[in-house]
Structure 1
Amino acid sequence: MPYGIAFTVGSRRLMTVERDVATLAFSLKDIFCERLPPVPALTSVEGLRVLSAPARAEKRLREAMPGFLVGARDTFDRSFIDMAGTYDAYLARFSGKTRSTLRRKRRKFEEAAGGRLDLREYRSPDELERFAQLALPLSRRTYQARLLDAGLPEDDHFRAAMYQLAEVDCLRAFLLFLQGEPVAYLYLPVEGETLIYAHLGYDPHHAGLSPGTVLQLAALERLFAEERFRYFDFTEGDGAHKALFRTGSIRCASFLLLRPSVVNRALLGSLALFDQSVSLAKSLATRTGAEALARRMLRA
């Protein structure tokens, strides 16, 4: 399937080059069990997109595919929440200062909302239809959609998959409302005993009320109460939000393995040179005090 190899500066995507690749994604259970998922056939594609591979598995893959080009590599701590205990036990893991900050953010949001937290959960196919009606317009306003092309998908395939998951009770979706209007959403498919952190977004006009943080914690309280789930998987990528809420993490990498064609060599070489240039420019901006100005220009 087509995958867009992105040339990005900060959170802004400047250009995307598509290559047809198969995907090999490691689940949290794969990582814990130290197993390699089945490698898909590569007969009609340019290579493999590997997601969240731990170091040992990455070494095995690269040895099994000699000659393939490795590029677009991103290393990160794959964060997760161990939900074996209670919600109160989970909260107790935070420092006193962090718990105080989280309570203050929720209180501030409740005050702006008229005194109570309006959090709504969607699970059945009918409920998910309403969720889509409310969440999709909100998603279009988020920075995830505007800058990263990572808002809630709006295609028929996503909609069909959403209903199929709901039919077998394998989806949890939440909306946080402010004065009757949705301002943040959270979309969580379920795989066995694991909740998958697929989509989170919030209205940037209300960023001062920390709606994403308030929604995350309130949703976790409900999810712990179900006593059904063992893990909350934040999947690939770093971020302050994941670092705040996680109880553990595993060092992983996502990368491409492409056939050694001239075009693929040029593409991955250009990407590496571009990323190196961006890193040098960022270092220069930091040293000269121009980093804040550069960030404002990128957000404009």
Structure 2
Amino acid sequence: MEEINQRKRDHINIVSDDRAIDRRKAYFDRIHLTHRALPELNLADVDPSTKFLGKDLAFPLLISSMTGGADEELVRINRNLAIAAEAEGVALAVGSQRVFLSDEAARESFELREHAPTTVLLGNLGAVQLNYELGFADCEAAVQVLEADGLYLHLNPLQEAVQPEGDTDFGGLRNKIAAIVQTLKKPVIIKEVGAGISPEDVEHLLASGIKHIDVAGTGGTSWSMVESRRSDDPALGELFGDWGIPTPLALRMMKPYRHEMNLIASGGIRNGIDMAKSMVLGASLCGMARPFLDPARESADAVRIVLRRIKREFTTAMFLLGAGDLDGIKDREELILDEHWN
């Protein structure tokens, strides 16, 4: 479907070229962690490795959903991301796969298992599409083409409300999500796309059988702003450009539910220190997308350079917190100092 392919090309170009799209709110900078002057560790012995969906990861990073479609550059971006994710031992989620369900030419951009034979790959569809043309067979197809380890169903009411061609019927989705959870043989992960998930949302999602939630809060790429750039009337998208729950606050709001689910942090995470703070706030995995977009347009090696830098930052933060492994920081809010100190 050329309309969807063009939209995906527009999205990539807008996010890459328009600096105002990345809100850079730096909400994580308000959190100060307890520095250990005597960490009693050898930095070389710090182990940031983890497991996700039964697979080993070198450190708890997910390259978050970006793109995919019937376009040479979109195919190249996903291939570069997959090669880099495999080489550096991190997880990868693809952009919405709805496009390949209606355009066979887009299939190649999601056939990534040959480039990432062992690491975690996650498929992705918009949950709202369950109220339109998509059903279980489409979810199954999205998993199969990627040979995915799980499926993201993303929730994006703000983006759809602002998008010129948006689908805005979010009524009754809870039961349809529950039906997919019950029938799909792979884990279903719910994520927002930059506006956060509230405790009320979690109550509904847990009742639907969801065990993995990506809070995807505000602070980074604003999809409301992205869609404003595609609209003849940008005022609405600009007004809601910072709408939602900041990622650190969304993580803290999840505290009562951490024992019931795996929590993924994304939205405005830009370095290894942000990752460490997310883990302290209970996350099991941290997602980033924007830092990898421009490198992915260049090469897999360029993406690998960024991944190695972030891993070093994260490992250094662990060392300075006196943590030899992730158990030393995960869900350890006592490591947080007074957040109002400047």
| TM-score, normalised by the number of residues in structure 1 | 0.26
Please identify the structure whose Cα radius of gyration is greater: 1
- The structure carrying a bigger strand percent of its residues is 1
Tell me: higher relative CO, structure 1 or 2? Use CA pairs within 8 A at least 6 residues apart.
1
